Structure 1
Amino acid sequence: MSKRDYYEVLGVARNAGDEELKKAYRRAAMKHHPDRNPGDKAAEAAFKECKEAYEVLSDGGKRRLYDQHGHAAFEHGMGGGNAGPGFHDVGDIFGDIFGNIFGGGGGRQAPRRGADVGYVMELDLEEAVAGIEKRIEIPTLAECAPCKGSGSADGKVDTCATCHGRGQVRMQRGPFAMQAACPHCGGSGKTIANPCQQCDGAGRVEEDKTLSVKIPAGVDNGDRIRLAGEGEAGPAGTPAGDLYVEVRVRPHAIFQRDGDDLHCEVPIRISQAALGDTVRVPTLGGEVELRIPAETQSGKVFRLRDRGVKSVRSRAPGDLYCKVAVETPVNLTAEQRTLLEQFEASFSGEDARRHSPKSATFLDGVKGFWDRMVS
């Protein structure tokens, strides 16, 4: 059974900070802790899974390796087996370094694999929110079909006579002995007497690969989807790399996204703001009614619960925040201008301050400022 993505296990985005990781781990560990779920094997397995995920993502070096190679970073000999998920202990590190320099360690070499491939997919907000399946075409190195990736026209691959299959040779430089890639086989440990004409013995050919990628509902900018084994084909007998599809969401004409919440601006007339009204506002699920109370000021924000984006992880919906913008009327008719002039004339002297709370506060602040300047 393949391992789940560590970010998915903790329910965080790939750009989550240390504090967010810590909080997510505490929540998950508390939920699945064996003491709270006695005898529950599924909870015990989930607890171990979130612990392993946090051990990797909370360590800067391990996290960089995981982001680059996924779970493969800790498999296929890329790390030791006794120091957590796929990492050497101190003794292993010094053994590898000095073993390679002075010829020790028996020339251990981690199996190679194909390179990972990155692809940026641009989506409209609606596509990111609802989820979509898209076909993409990527240039990559694929396994050569005629030789089935062996690089040999007749299928025969011999052990390199120079390095005896180790892929490395010992080189003497004065008093120093060093390990280096075998110049005869290029470090593969194998030689081919009859190379495949299609790939010239490389076992891989350049081609454009078409894939169908399922984008889950609720993804956001920077989210990455890993397709295991869909990267470049590895050298003969080694696994392929992975494909990482990074999501980029295009700017939207109406909504701005903040996590699982959406924000939009709702323009209303001055009469609607003063007298109150009910207006229709857009949401991702269609228009809904928003009640504007009387005496609403420009900049007032109204919250519509559960009208945002459903999280790609928890599936809990965010909210929609509507910010009111009171518009100044333009292109007035003569009658409208006369009515506005009469309206303005109705405000006189100190009585006008009762009807303009922000203006009154501003004027009081200006008066206090000048009084302090004079004194």
Structure 2
Amino acid sequence: MDFKDYYKTLGVERGATQDEVRKAYRKLARKYHPDVSKEADADKRMREINEANDVLRDKEKRAAYDQLVDHVARGGSPDGQFHPPPNWDEGFEFHRGRKQGPADHAEFSEFFSSVFGAAERRDAFRKNYRARGEDHHAAIEISLEDALKGSEREITLRGQEIDAQGRPEWKTRTFSVKIPAGVHPGQLIRLAGRGMPGQGGEAPGDLYLEVRIAPHAIYRIDGLDLYMTLPVTPSEGALGAKVQVPTPGGGVVEVTIPPNARNGLKLRLKERGFPGKPPGNLYLLIEIALPPANTEAARKAYEQLALAVPFDPRRHLGV
């Protein structure tokens, strides 16, 4: 999809104040509103203008959009098509859009939908407006070990606020977060009162942290289950064996490899995955690891094996 330059659409500079954005929008709206405009493409242009205004007048959306502008400026779309970078919103407070007034984004572009989802327009607060503070969302990446055992982390989040002159400015908050044991990928950790301040004396909103688990060197996550590739020697796979296997909880268990085990054989360690009702399992995928024939003794051993155990793994090919 194409990247949308909302600043160009409204004809304002990136550092424009909220007042400048508002004036630019009103000027274009008077020109292209379908009820009054005689321009051939008035309806299309008005949709584009509304979309740009929806983003640039909202401080959270504008801050998130500016992150993507920087990404594109650094050459983040080499194929000419825009692709949001992985985890682009991590460590960034982002407004998810709690309804506070009528809005309709159905006719906005694919770019808007992919970045902001179903975020709703918000009316400006009046001085006597009373409302609970908005909830904010952010992403936090933790290790698999921290997810299973729990931990306490210090995190820093960046948000953007509008100063007294109407210009956007960055604000940074740092605080400790308790990661509960057994938290799952995609789960939300709620921090009460850590969202935006309330209006007219009302309570502040909450901050929701979406848990993301970093790739692990040994284990792969699939729902509540964990998968691990277990290398075994040819003799262990052929004759069977008992081998030591590390578990995600930090312990070691002894696993029986059945005789004549083949690549891809799946062994289950019950309830060794993520906690749940029922808990997940740990699956071991057998992988036969061949010793290298890098010595004379190793080569002779392979030659003797070939003579002692005639075996054609390609006979099913019919050649």
- Bin for the TM-score computed over the shorter chain: 0.5 to 0.7
Deviations 1:279-323 (A, max 9, x none): 111102311111112211111111111211213xx4x43211001
Q: Is 1:129 the equivalent of 2:91? A: no
Map Cα deviations across residues 236-281 of structure 1 (whole Å, 9 max, x no partner). 4233222111111100000011121110001111111111111111
List aligned pairs for 1:162-173, cutoff 5 A.
none
Provide the secondary structure at the position in 1 that maps to 2:140.
Answer: strand
Change in 2 beyond 3 A, CA 1:226/1:68: farther
Q: Aligned in 2, Cα 1:290/1:297: closer, same or farther, shift over 3 Å?
A: same
How far apart are 1:134 and its partner, in Å? 2.1
Amino acid at match of 1:317: P
Amino acid in the other structure paired with 1:112:
A
Equivalent of 2:263 in 298, 301, 326: 298
- Rounded to whole Å, the distance in 2 between the matches of 1:307 and 1:115 is 39
Q: Is the 8 A contact 2:184 2:274 kept in 1?
A: no
1:326 to 280, 285, 288: 288
Counterpart CA distance in 2 for 1:335 and 1:299 is 29
Partners of 1:138 and 1:208 within 8 A in 2: yes
Deviation, structure 1 residue 141: 8.1
Q: Give the CA deviation at 1:68.
A: 5.0
Which has the larger Rg? 1
1:135, CA displacement in angstroms? Answer: 2.7
- Tell me how far apart the structure 2 counterparts of residues 340 and 301 of structure 1 sit (CA, whole Å): 27
Cα deviation for residue 213 of structure 1 reads 2.0
**Residue equivalent to 1:335:** 297
Using structure 2 for the length normalisation, give the TM-score: 0.53
On the 8 A contact 1:78/1:110 being kept in 2, the answer is: no
2:239 is the counterpart of 1:287: no
TM-fit CA distance, 1:226: 2.1
The Cα offsets for residues 329-361 of structure 1, whole Å up to 9 and x where unpaired, read as 11442123212212212345xxx4xxx6xx3xx
Alignment correspondent of 2:224:
260
| 8 Å CA contact 1:307, 1:318 repeated in 2 | yes
Contact kept in structure 2, 1:269 and 1:328, CA below 8 Å: yes
Residue 277 (str. 1) matches residue 229 (str. 2):
no
The one-letter amino acid of 1:214's match is K
Give the aligned partner of residue 210 of structure 1. Answer: 174
Residue segments in structure 1 that go unaligned for 5+ positions in a row: 1-66, 80-108, 143-198, 371-375
Distance 1:331 1:224, change over 3 A: same
Q: What is the aligned partner in structure 1 of residue 315 from structure 2?
A: 363
CA contact (8 A) 1:279 1:289 kept: yes
Q: What is the rounded CA distance, in whole Å, between the counterparts of 1:200 and 1:110 in structure 2?
A: 19
SS of residue paired to 2:284: strand
Q: Is this contact kept in 1: 2:129–2:200, CA < 8 A?
A: no
Provide closer, same or farther for how the CA distance between residues 322 and 248 of structure 1 changes in structure 2, counting only shifts above 3 A.
Answer: same
Superposed, which structure 2 residues align to 1:229-244 within 5 Å?
Answer: 229-244=193-208
**Structure 2 residue aligned with 1:317:** 279
Please report how far the alpha carbon of residue 117 of structure 1 lies from its aligned counterpart in structure 2 after TM superposition: 2.4
Instruction: Give runs of aligned pairs for residues 153-168 of structure 1, distance below 5 A.
Output: none
The one-letter code of the counterpart of 2:259 is: A
Structure 2 residue corresponding to 1:116, chosen from 119, 130, 135:
135
Partner Cα distance (1:218, 1:233) in 2? 31
SS of equivalent to 1:244: strand
Structure 1 length-normalised TM: 0.46
Q: CA RMSD in A?
A: 3.4
What residue number does 1:173 align with?
Answer: none
| C-alpha spacing 1:265/1:139, structure 2 compared with 1 (3 Å) | closer
Aligned residues: percent identity?
Answer: 37
**Match of 1:318, as an amino acid?**
G
Find the aligned partners of 2:175 and 2:256 in 1 and give their Cα distance. 47
Whole-Å separation in 2 of the counterparts to 1:265 and 1:140: 41
Considering fraction of residues, name the structure with more helix.
1
Does structure 1 retain, via aligned residues, the 8 Å contact 2:187–2:210? yes
